[in-house]
Amino acid sequence: EPEVTQTPSHQVTQMGQEVILRCVPISNHLYFYWYRQILGQKVEFLVSFYNNEISEKSEIFDDQFSVERPDGSNFTLKIRSTKLEDSAMYFCASTPDLGGNQPQHFGDGTRLSIL
Amino acid sequence: DQQVKQNSPSLSVQEGRISILNCDYTNSMFDYFLWYKKYPAEGPTFLISISSIKDKNEDGRFTVFLNKSAKHLSLHIVPSQPGDSAVYFCAASGGAQKLVFGQGTRLTINP
């Protein structure tokens, strides 16, 4: 079964450094998402992306965050100047299209640890 | 943000019996509801979903019930198996594609 893949599985970064989290969505999917889960808290929506544009973003997704689809397969989340509170699991998800209600399929996540 | 709530952080069920996981929501704009299962060190795995035009959806051992008037949904697993031990998340969406998640319920199936 096709799956969403995320790399790296664990990223350790010094506070203030930039970090890029990578995702390869399922190949025929058109809508992409990033979520995060801080330890002990809910999974929270960050951003959705379609046709090379942000469709929706949450209050969490401020100017330090950006997303990009640099080629036909990768979808990246960049955090420009990391803070301690950015430590979390980051999940990428994708859906084929917006036609009707369709489940989002998630990758296994990247654990981001900010020191 | 308490739009989706799972009030039971944990549930323990005997193997072979029925597991019932509950979820409440407050936003009447939600029209699509999903259940995800999550093992440690893995991402959420889609289990089953239901549209607001239905009140029941069944897939093998898994059935989701939706009570719109009570803004409540439940997931029934029968019979429960040891491999069902995981954290179960309820999620909802309404128009926009973003999912709003509950806090999760840790289900333990005892042999």
- The pLDDT tens digits along chain B (111 residues) read 579 999 999 999 999 999 999 999 999 999 999 999 999 889 999 999 999 999 999 999 999 999 999 999 999 999 999 999 999 999 999 876 799 999 999 999 999
Between chains, do A101 and B42 touch, taking CB under 8 Å as contact? no
Q: Looking at the complex, does the CB of residue B83 fall below 8 Å from at least one CB of chain A?
A: no
pLDDT in tens, A28-78: 898 999 999 999 899 999 999 998 999 999 999 999 999 999 887 899 999
Average pLDDT for A108-112: 97
pLDDT > 70? residue A98: no
The number of beta carbons lying within 10 Å of the beta carbon of residue B88 is: 24
Between chains, do B100 and A103 touch, taking CB under 8 Å as contact? no
pLDDT at A36: 97
Q: Looking at the complex, does the CB of residue B41 fall below 8 Å from at least one CB of chain A?
A: yes
pLDDT at B96: 66
pLDDT > 90? residue A96: no
Q: Looking up tokens 């790399």, which residue turns up?
A: A7
Between chains, do A106 and B101 touch, taking CB under 8 Å as contact? no
